[in-house]
Chain A
Amino acid sequence: MGLNIIVLAKQVPDTRNVGKDAMKADGTVNRAALPAIFNPEDLNALEQALRLKEKYPGTKVTLLTMGPGRAAEIIREGLFRGADGGILLTDRAFAGSDTLATSYALSCAIRKIKTYDLILAGRQAIDGDTAQVGPQVAEKLGLPQVTYVEEILSAEKGKLRLKRRLERGVETVETPMPVLLTINGSAAPCRPRNARLVMKYKHARTVTERQNLSEDYIDLANDRPYLNIPEWSVNDIECDANSLGLSGSPTKVKKIENVVFQAKEARHIQANEQEIEELVKELIANHTIG
């Protein structure tokens, strides 16, 4: 039984290697100083989708990403790893979206895609760290959702068996499909790009990219339709314009502050029963653990 899977993915600034110039004076992210990457937990989500594709022949994996034109790179990165296709949701009208407006736009696009058994998203993006978009999309589509998923154990007879990674353990749950899952960073890392797929899809472009770039292989996509990355604007999805972008975003950033962690002196203890016990007692006493 093949599944139709949509993977929600986001292009994010690489906040894992933040330098001094990561933030601008006005408190916004200096995107130019940080390389744009595939949000790490979205890669974990893609890997889960690709594993299902290997396990259940006929499965189709489609990436959906919202962002500026250059976010088409996310679709290509997905194609290089084994996704079957992808859609770039891009329009000036989406600019300034908070999680509510983003999840609204994504849910409208998913309604247009129509056929799906499973929507996978990373738990959260490393730029905003909200973990809200996945759950909000599920709510807007009226779908059940399972968060913190670490592994999809099986997808049989319209039901998924899942392993969730929770703070104090692992939970195995079962859910009907269609369903939205958010995948945890502890899930299997995404596979590397595949050499053949990279060579096959490296010329994949959106229409806008073809117009803007001086491409040598401009006619190639006529013979190879898989090289066209669909680009959807506001006009391509049914939506209420007031719920998009800045006007659809109730979140207002008041102020951004630099927080400097205060490093305290390290303490060394000997690896013997007595010192360990004393430390544990101390930690319980000051409520660090317990």
Chain B
Amino acid sequence: MANFFTDNPDLKFHLTHPLMKKIVALKEDNFEDKDQYDYAPLDFEDAMDSYEKVLEIVGEICGDIVAPNAEGVDAEGPRIENNEVVYAAGTQQNLDALVKAGLMGITLPRKYEGLNFPIVPYIMAADMVSRADAGFVNIWGLQDCAETIHEFADDDQKMRYLPRISRGETAAMDLTEPDAGSDLQSVQLKATYNEKDGKWYLNGVKRFITNGDGNISLVLARSEPGTTDGRGLSMFIYDRNHKAVKIRRIENKMGIKGSPTCELVFQNAPAELVGDRKMGLIKYVMALMNGARLGIGAQSVGISEAAYREALAYAEEREQFGKPIIKFPAVYEMLATMKAKLDASRSLLYETSRFVDVYKAYMHLSKKRTLTREERQEMKYYQRLADFFTPLLKGMSSEYCNQIAYDALQIHGGSGFMKDYPIERIYRDARITTIYEGTTQLQVVAAIRGVTTDGYLKRIREYEAMPLRPELHGFRRTLIGMTEEYERAVKSVTDVKDNEFLDFHARRLVEMAGHIIMGYLLLLDTERDDRYRNSTEIFIRLGRAENKARAEFIANSSLNDLGYFKQIQEA
């Protein structure tokens, strides 16, 4: 009888951000669908009301079905029967409920039977589903693949594949191979063009493929024989109805056990090229990954929410030394810090989602009509922000998710280590978030450009200039101080003009920017609603201390110091 939307006022708070007005206007383009589709919104208020009502359905399904099933799904897991993946009973029940409720193809246009929702409410749904069952969100959230098909496939492919996703068929993105993990340029799976029938055929092995037996798979394959790098790779759609892929095994994982992670053998599998040859990795996978990283941000926030709630409930209930353990400073500090990290992560999640929303809406609009100069500029501006913020979000929120899950289990003491409480499952589920869709270390590689090109600094300056109530100016002064310190740290690293030195300090610099940005986001949330004041207070204190430690480390390091850290290689 729980509703994960209505029991969490933070969601509605982020849903009603002022920028939604622009996002809805772009996405609905003068509300032109309203005469053609009986479920299209009539105006801005109507659209927002629809998002809210639909999110209430998601919240109800999460609270009443997905969350109660999570324990059973974790124990049962998926299996292979007759070369098909059979989900755990609870997983199938979750999926059936969401499909029946029409919650697939959420962001797709109505002509493909989608709901035409912006990214923000879609991510909000993913946030709730992740809180309910972090493994299940992988299956449901792979509807992201539809977005890539929508962006890059031709009209005929869109008409054939997208409505199937809207009706509830699942998807997969087949990228990783045994020898191509982080380094996707090494993908070997062969795509061969058959001149006779004018079709492509796939041969080779994919590994660690989430929902590998999904109905519609996007496959990265080498279409240009003789090439060895990313420029020889193209993107293909494989339709499961061809039955030309062997499911070799399902991995036995530490967490997200309900999500089937498959090893696949493509055996002359017919496939369709998406978009242009050779653009597979360079363009399409990058877009796919950005969407997926935003999804992991949502997953991290959802898991953090679940972990925080478990810890809070336990700390209020558990009595030691004659009082609930939440009364002890060691425990309440942990809880308040968890809450601050959770609030900051969620704020960054929706800020990033809004950037993606604006630029994607412009991009789709540009296919319908020519954008004005201002519109083009705005699209570029938001795309740049989205590019900088996506790796920052993925890196920061997944690391926080792990810290929160760790502390949440710690608060449970010995009981947390037992299978009796959900926290051990949540803890195991959290672990993958800093690893897949690019490790934290790879997010830093993407995010460091935001440091060196001043991308983050420019946005920080914009936050700095936003209006604030006088009583909040103190926070801003602290953040301005942190920004000056950050600039000094960046300068002292870049002045060395050595790439290895920059790589060495990259994570420190990215995290410093992250703490400032997340501090500002919480501050701006507090400007809109005072309920975030406490988290702002705690987060900025924490961020200031963390940044000082990093600045100190950087200030006392020189290029020669790298030698100490390299020593181990020679041993």
Contacts and interface: CB of A to CB of B under 8 A. Distances in A.
Interface in B89-131: 97, 100-103, 115
Nearest to A50: B100
A199 B100 contact: no
A220 interface: yes
A192 B103 CA distance: 11
Contacts of B39: 195-197, 199-200
Instruction: Bin chain B's interface residue count.
Output: 20 to 34
A195 B100 contact: no
A198 B57 contact: yes
Q: Which of A193, A196, A217, A224 has the most CB of B within 10 A?
A: A196
Interface in B67-104: 97, 100-103
A143 B201 CA distance: 63
B50 to A, nearest CB: 5
A194 interface: yes
B102 A194 contact: yes
Given A191-B101, A192-B97, A192-B100, A198 B42 contact: no
A195 B38 contact: no
Contact of B54 (A191, A199, A217): A199
B378 interface: no
Greatest chain A CB density within 10 A among B40, B100, B101 is at B101
A217 B61 CA distance: 29
Given A193-B57, A195-B54, A217-B42, A202 B102 contact: no
B120 to A, nearest CB: 16
B498 interface: no
A192 B61 contact: yes
A194 B38 CA distance: 14
Contact of B115 (A191, A196, A216, A217): A196
A196 B42 contact: no
Interface string B303-324: 0000000000000000000000
A259 to B, nearest CB: 24
Nearest to B55: A195
Interface in A216-249: 216-217, 220, 224
A202 B49 contact: yes
Contact of B45 (A194, A197, A216): A216
Given A200-B38, A217-B42, A220-B42, A195 B102 contact: yes
Interface in B1-60: 1, 38-42, 45-46, 49-50, 53-54, 57, 60
A193 B100 CA distance: 8
B50 A202 contact: yes
Contacts of A224: 38
A199 B53 contact: yes
Contacts of A192: 57, 60-61, 97, 100-101
Given A200-B39, A217-B42, A191 B100 contact: yes
Nearest to B166: A196
A193 B39 CA distance: 14
Interface in A198-212: 198-200, 202
B108 to A, nearest CB: 12
B230 to A, nearest CB: 39
A197 B39 CA distance: 7
Interface string A257-281: 0000000000000000000000000
A59 B89 CA distance: 30
Interface residues of A, number: 16
Interface string A34-73: 0000000000000000000000000000000000000000
B42 A195 contact: no
Nearest to B65: A192
Nearest to B57: A193
A202 to B, nearest CB: 6
B47 to A, nearest CB: 9
Contacts of B42: 217, 220
A17 B1 CA distance: 10
A220 B41 CA distance: 12
Nearest to B103: A195
A229 B127 CA distance: 36
B143 to A, nearest CB: 13
Contacts of A194: 57, 100-102
A5 to B, nearest CB: 19
A191 B93 CA distance: 11
A217 to B, nearest CB: 7
A195 B45 contact: no
B367 to A, nearest CB: 25
B429 to A, nearest CB: 24
Nearest to B50: A199
Given A200-B39, A217-B42, A195 B115 contact: yes
Contacts of B46: 217
A202 B57 CA distance: 13
A257 B410 CA distance: 48
Contacts of A195: 39, 54, 57, 101-103, 115
A76 to B, nearest CB: 11
Contacts of A193: 57, 60, 101
Nearest to A217: B42
Contacts of B41: 199
A202 B53 contact: yes
Interface string A168-201: 0000000000000000000000011111111110
Contacts of A202: 49-50, 53
Nearest to A191: B100
A217 B115 CA distance: 21
Contacts of B103: 195
Given A202-B50, A224-B38, A196 B102 contact: yes
Nearest to B61: A192
5 contacts: A194-B57, A196-B115, A198-B53, A199-B41, A199-B115
Interface of B: 1, 38-42, 45-46, 49-50, 53-54, 57, 60-61, 97, 100-103, 115
Interface of A: 17, 191-200, 202, 216-217, 220, 224
Q: Which 9 A-B pairs have the closest CB atoms?
A: A199-B39, A195-B102, A192-B101, A200-B38, A196-B39, A195-B54, A200-B39, A194-B102, A199-B50
Given A195-B39, A199-B54, A217-B46, 14 more contacts: A17-B1, A191-B100, A192-B60, A192-B101, A196-B102, A198-B50, A198-B54, A198-B57, A199-B115, A200-B38, A200-B39, A202-B50, A202-B53, A216-B45
